[in-house]
């Protein structure tokens, strides 16, 4: 076999995939409760699926045919109207919006469009594990600014200032955040935009969970002055429409960047899936999206969040966490228990799965600051199972600490 | 706005997209006949769509949920059985197959997994325009070996030998070929595999049109001795299942390469679309694929091919072309007419569209050897429209040559 690329050794396989393999094995043994991957368990709006089945019968060839690389113009127009409605921001659907194969492709295309080899990208630690690997694959370097539970996982402007160098090409902001559920403070956004202006770097604003907030709305970075010309937003239908298997999302940005992203996409995936886009046209009709968010998504996740919070306090009393303001994750500092057990977070996760059939994600996968933590999602299991799962975790740590 | 990446200036926007824009404008004017993009006009097998609508009703959350990065295990198992059945080659579905977002992503992931900066990739000229841009985006360099209509578009082993250098990392073979319809000679494949062994380079075998042959079967590169350990095959459901808008395909290769492709895919698109994979499970059931190919795909395209050939001879008597043995394109040498007109192939295409509402693709987009040629596909229009379209082309060139 000839050699594979050194690019491959720069990146690590997603550790969540390793968990998935463990999970497959564990499933054979029986009853697994998953607080692991962020895959919605609530169905998408019924109207979308019904409409898709009608379209598949009526205009099959169109629904399964190619579309342009930027995606269906009618979907981009609806997205522009929606962004106007929710955030008051105006986008030209033909120049400033591109449909992507989920948020993951949005991030890859955005980074491909701006990064030179050796450029630095500043990330918050802890953060979503996909960013650093995409940056490294494209020849970029990572700098991090640290947050922790005491700061409510808010990053610090002074630390950001210190991390900026002449090589800084971008800062990636995820809000609401994965793994911490933190909604970013407006002051930080304001300061970030000023620094990005002064030092001429990009803001990649990952708004994957933008609609999933429980206590206060999420700021829209493009609404801050001077932000538009240096911000690329990343959006996905995986979370707000509960349609991860459609692999669809969208990005906004200055026309030059959207054009660059389109150019890259032509040779990465040619075009987004047409079939899912046709289903999504219905998402923006007759207040379906509004109702789905207000009546299904937010109340369901809020109930689960509040419940999981109470359960963590009750069954894992020595763990430290904050009530997530958005997204659907608790990031839990379990160092007290790990010390008693003499184990690290990865070993904790493996043993918990083996002994109690409960899946959580090791915090160290999200950065150095995540060591001694676990991520627990409440997106996949209904309330009764959340209760059962946290109880099992309580019994698990109890067996080590008495 | 901060700078965009120099990567962007390395690649050109797909010229077929420019044609698509012209096409959008022309459509407003009226009756357009498209011999342009390779988008099937025949519907996919009815059973797939019917089954998908049932699954969408019954197990929505599963059908729209995430799947693993390599795709549904059950689909990979069916693909392995199918490859065994059609080509007699055995693949391990868990280690040697990955589902991709169409053939385009297959090519991108394969090149990402093997290329270092400065590596050379050898292409045939003319060939599919996506390869060179993907190679350049990844920091590779292109070498070409030339073919032409006199050679029946068969590449030459002696020329290949001369193009090999210590920097050669891969050769990309597309058979049946786009834009020429050529099915590769077995002798060339045998020689290619020997050279790849001797000089330790990869063969990327793009088998996008593998089932669409009219006169003789297409060789399967992996069946030649010593090929397996250095061959990555690229496959798509866009052509053989008429499902381009599903954006699904698959690749085979040595386990190490499939693992590398999976790693890259995690950060490029996370996972393939689940919904389309569920539809495709049915493709391999009860001889549906066999029947669809034998009763619909091959006879439909063969009739259109034979008709278009007769029409080209009749209405464009000074054009030179060969009867395509596979795929669904004629590559037509129109230098005689261009000389009379004093125009190049790109101008010819623009004028033909403007004056006669017929879309063809300039040959120069497929390489230097394509200058003075046009590509005409018979995949998009029924026979009556093929007749009307070539007649219009005849009237168009007649107006310049009398």
Closest CA to B335 of B375, B389, B371, B368: B371
Mutate to test the interface with B, among A1, A25, A170, A253 (most CBs of B within 10 A): A1
Give B25's pLDDT tier (boundaries 50, 70, 90): low
pLDDT at A17: 64
Domain B46-286 has CATH 2.60.40.10: no
pLDDT > 70 in chain A, percent:
96
Q: Is residue B329 scored above 80 in pLDDT?
A: yes
CA A348, CA A369: separation in Å to the nearest integer?
17
- Express each pLDDT in A153-195 by its tens digit: 999 999 999 999 999 999 999 999 999 999 999 999 999 999 9
pLDDT at B18: 67
User: Where in chain B are the domains?
Assistant: 6-44+289-401, 46-286
| Mean pLDDT, rounded, for A22-42 | 79
Pick A27 or B258 by higher pLDDT.
B258
Rg for chain A (alpha carbons), in Å?
21
Give B230's pLDDT tier (boundaries 50, 70, 90): very high
CA B54, CA B56: separation in Å to the nearest integer?
5
> Which chain B residues in 164-183 lie under 8 Å from chain A, judged by CB atoms?
169
Which tokens is B227 given? 């090929």
CA B74, CA B57: separation in Å to the nearest integer?
20
Domains A6-44+289-401 and A46-287 belong to one CATH topology: no
Q: Count of CB atoms within 10 A of residue B377's CB? A: 28
Decide if B244 and A65 are in contact by the 8 Å CB cutoff: yes
pLDDT at B24: 64
| Mean pLDDT, rounded, for B181-208 | 98
CA B391 to mean position of chain CA atoms: 27
CA B9, CA B11: separation in Å to the nearest integer?
5
CATH fold of B6-44+289-401? 3.90.1150
Report the DSSP beta bridge partners of residue B144. B123
- Express each pLDDT in A360-402 by its tens digit: 999 999 999 999 999 999 999 999 999 999 999 999 999 887 6
Nearest to A2 among B20, B61, B202 (CB): B202
Residue of chain B nearest A12, judged by CA positions: B263
CA B54, CA B379: separation in Å to the nearest integer?
29
pLDDT at A41: 86
User: Looking at CA atoms only, how far is residue A400 from chain B in angstroms?
Assistant: 34
Instruction: Give the torsion sign (CA, A354, A358, A359, A364).
Output: negative
| DSSP per-residue letters across B71-118 | --HHHHHHHHHHHHHHH-----TTTSEEEESHHHHHHHHHHHHHPPTT
Decide if B4 and A169 are in contact by the 8 Å CB cutoff: no
CA B78, CA B64: separation in Å to the nearest integer?
20
Residue of chain A nearest B70, judged by CA positions: A17
Question: Which alpha helices (DSSP H) does B316-382 contain, by range?
Answer: 335-341, 345-356
CA B69, CA A104: separation in Å to the nearest integer?
12
Decide if B245 and A273 are in contact by the 8 Å CB cutoff: yes
pLDDT at A74: 94
> Which chain A residues in 206-225 lie under 8 Å from chain B, judged by CB atoms?
none
Residue ranges of E strands in A48-150: 97-100, 120-125, 141-146
CA B44, CA A62: separation in Å to the nearest integer?
11
Give A24's pLDDT tier (boundaries 50, 70, 90): low
- Express each pLDDT in B267-284 by its tens digit: 999 999 999 999 999 999
Q: Which chain B residues have a beta carbon less than 8 Å from that of A242?
A: 61, 64
Q: How much is the pTM?
A: 0.96
CA A61, CA B41: separation in Å to the nearest integer?
7
Question: Which alpha helices (DSSP H) does A88-185 contain, by range?
Answer: 102-114, 130-137, 157-163
Q: Is residue B100 scored above 70 in pLDDT?
A: yes
Nearest to A137 among B11, B267, B270 (CB): B267
pLDDT at B38: 79
Q: At a CB cut-off of 8 Å and minimum separation 6, what does B327 contact?
A: B176, B177, B178, B181, B209, B212, B239
B208 in helix, strand or coil? coil
Q: Is residue B163 scored above 70 in pLDDT?
A: yes
pLDDT at A11: 85
Q: Is residue B309 scored above 70 in pLDDT?
A: yes
Which tokens is A345 given? 């977070």
The mean predicted confidence, pLDDT, of chain A is 94
pLDDT > 70 in chain B, percent:
96
Closest CA to A311 of A97, A22, A33: A33
Pick A62 or B295 by higher pLDDT.
B295
SS3 percent helix, strand, coil of chain B, rounded to 5, is 50, 15, 35
| DSSP per-residue letters across A296-319 | IIHHHHHHHHHHHHHHHHHHSTT-
Which tokens is A128 given? 């979503």
ipTM, interface predicted TM-score of the complex = 0.95
CATH of A46-287, one of 3.40.1350.10, 3.40.50.10330, 3.40.50.720, 3.40.640.10: 3.40.640.10
CA B203, CA B232: separation in Å to the nearest integer?
6
| Mean pLDDT, rounded, for B240-246 | 95
Flag the least confident range among A24-28, A293-297, B188-192.
Answer: A24-28
pLDDT at A8: 87
| DSSP per-residue letters across A348-375 | HHHHHHHHH-EE-EEGGGG-GGGTTEEE
Decide if B222 contacts B68 (C-beta within 8 A): no
CA A170, CA A175: separation in Å to the nearest integer?
16
> Which chain B residues in 297-356 lie under 8 Å from chain A, judged by CB atoms?
none
B35 in helix, strand or coil? coil
| Mean pLDDT, rounded, for B257-262 | 96
pLDDT at A25: 64
Decide if B118 contacts B165 (C-beta within 8 A): no
| Max Cα–Cα distance, chain B, nearest Å | 65
Angstrom CA distances, A389 to A121, A347, A393, stand at 37, 18, 6
pLDDT at A27: 65
């Amino acid at each position: 076999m000839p050699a594979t690329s050194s690019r491959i050794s720069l990146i690590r396989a997603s550790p969540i995939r390793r968990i998935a393999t463990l999970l497959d094995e564990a499933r054979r043994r029986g009853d697994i409760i998953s607080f692991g991957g962020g895959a919605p368990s609530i169905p998408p709006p019924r109207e979308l699926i019904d409409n898709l089945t009608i379209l598949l019968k009526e205009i099959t060839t169109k629904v399964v045919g190619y579309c342009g690389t930027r995606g269906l113009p009618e979907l981009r127009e609806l997205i522009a109207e929606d962004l106007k409605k929710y955030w008051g921001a105006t986008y030209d659907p033909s120049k400033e919006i591109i449909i992507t194969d989920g948020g993951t492709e949005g991030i890859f295309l955005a980074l491909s469009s701006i990064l030179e080899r050796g450029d630095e990208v500043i990330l918050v630690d802890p953060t979503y594990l996909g960013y650093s690997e995409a940056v490294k694959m494209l020849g970029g370097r990572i700098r991090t600014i640290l947050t922790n539970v005491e700061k409510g996982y808010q990053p610090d402007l002074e630390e950001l200032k210190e991390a900026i160098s002449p090589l800084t090409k971008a800062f990636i902001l995820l809000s609401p955040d994965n793994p911490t559920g933190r909604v970013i403070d407006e002051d930080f956004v304001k300061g970030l935009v000023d620094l990005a202006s002064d030092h001429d770097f990009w803001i990649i604003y990952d708004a994957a969970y933008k609609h999933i907030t429980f206590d206060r709305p999420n700021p829209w970075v493009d609404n801050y002055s001077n932000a538009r010309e240096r911000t690329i937003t990343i959006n996905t239908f995986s979370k707000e429409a509960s349609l991860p298997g459609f692999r669809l999302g969208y990005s906004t940005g200055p026309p030059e960047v959207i054009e660059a992203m389109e150019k890259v996409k032509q040779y990465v995936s040619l075009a987004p899936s047409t079939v899912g886009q046709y289903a999504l046209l219905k998402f923006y009709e007759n207040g379906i999206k509004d109702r789905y968010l207000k009546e299904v998504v937010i109340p369901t996740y809020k109930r689960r969040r509040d419940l999981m919070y109470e359960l963590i306090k009750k069954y894992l009393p020595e763990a430290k966490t904050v009530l997530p303001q958005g997204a659907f994750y608790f990031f839990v500092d379990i160092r007290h228990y790990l010390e008693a057990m003499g184990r690290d977070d990865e070993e904790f996760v493996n043993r918990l799965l083996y002994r109690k059939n409960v899946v959580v994600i090791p915090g160290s996968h999200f950065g150095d600051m995540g060591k001694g933590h676990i991520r627990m999602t409440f997106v996949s299991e209904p309330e009764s199972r959340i209760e059962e799962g946290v109880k099992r975790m309580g019994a698990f740590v109890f067996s080590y600490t008495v």
